[in-house]
Amino acid sequence: MPSGLVALLDDVAGIAKIAAASVDDIGAAAGKAGTKAVGVVVDDAAVTPGYAMGFTPDRELPIVAKIAVGSLRNKLLFLLPGALLLSAFAPWAVTPILMLGGAYLAFEATEKIIEMFVPHGDEVETEDLALSGPELEKQKVAGAIRTDLILSAEIMAIALADVSGMSLPIQAAALALVGVVITILVYGVVALIVKMDDIGLHMAKSPRAPTQKFGRGLVKAMPVVMSSLAYIGTAAMLWVGGGIIVHGLHHFHLTPIPAWVEGAQHWAGQVPAIGPVTGWLAMAIGSAVVGLVVGGVIAGVLHFIPRKKAAH
């Protein structure tokens, strides 16, 4: 009997070691995959606050919560099974799908740049005014979740590319972990951003002069922060979208564009002391230029076709 108990305990210890190793594998895979997706995460965090702005303070956090739930649903119910099916049956399709997503991000960024020079926001504002509060909120949340679906698809596809050589259970667990952690991170930051002005107003009422001053500074800074986030989001879209396209071209041995970007990165990386920073900047700028060109071509085609039909 004692020997049987010892054997059982030994088996349990062995199973525990295997489970621990699997957890380590999942953590390492998720960390590697999440790091590669950081550019899209920055874009997601920069884009989303705009959907919660313009509502009463009591509705801001519920709106962010609804978008976060929709984001989790996108990742875990739709994108995760789709990514695993791709990994199992069509791994060759991951890179082309990534490139299509990159082209979409580049197009969205280019459209934002075009709107800066040819604004048509009055039409959108008129449509918004025609909606009641709940209807407008529902529309904004739906729009945010649609945008999140594209960005989440990019995150999951980038993550999948990094864990594709692992077993299917490890892939599933790593992708689920990446999806949950990134969603909590992004929407935690978004919630903080949209409530920053309320936090500032609360601090401005403090009896302590330094706290009052800091609170007033937060309130004054928020318009600048929101404006900066819009520019950062657009730049991130171009950089990430263009970078994905460049990586795809390199994967399919389609030169010389990847060679040009890599050459610029190598040249800029030789600057003494700050080589890693300048090298990264050169790569980011090169990728953004590629994204701008691709996005411009797509935008041009999409704007040209309706005009051509109207002319007929």
Sketch the domain layout of the chain as residue ranges: 2-221
pTM: 0.73
Residue 22 confidence class, pLDDT cut points 50, 70, 90: very low
According to the model, what pLDDT value does residue 142 have?
Answer: 87
Cis, peptide link before residue 256, omega less than 30° from 0: yes
The tokens describing 141, both together, are 């949340």
According to the model, what pLDDT value does residue 23 have?
Answer: 47
Please name the residue that has the structure tokens 């997601």. 44
Residues 6 or more apart whose CB falls under 8 angstroms from that of 287 comprise 238, 239, 240, 242, 243, 245, 246, 261
Residue 139 confidence class, pLDDT cut points 50, 70, 90: confident
The tokens describing 26, both together, are 């999942």
Q: What is the pLDDT of residues 151-193, one digit of tens each?
A: 788 778 777 777 777 778 878 888 888 888 888 888 888 888 8
CA–CA distance, 302 with 289 (Å, rounded to integer)? 20
Contact 155, 183 (CB under 8 A): no
Query: Considering the chain, what is the average pLDDT of its residues?
Result: 79
The tokens describing 8, both together, are 């059982």
CA–CA distance, 49 with 147 (Å, rounded to integer)? 12
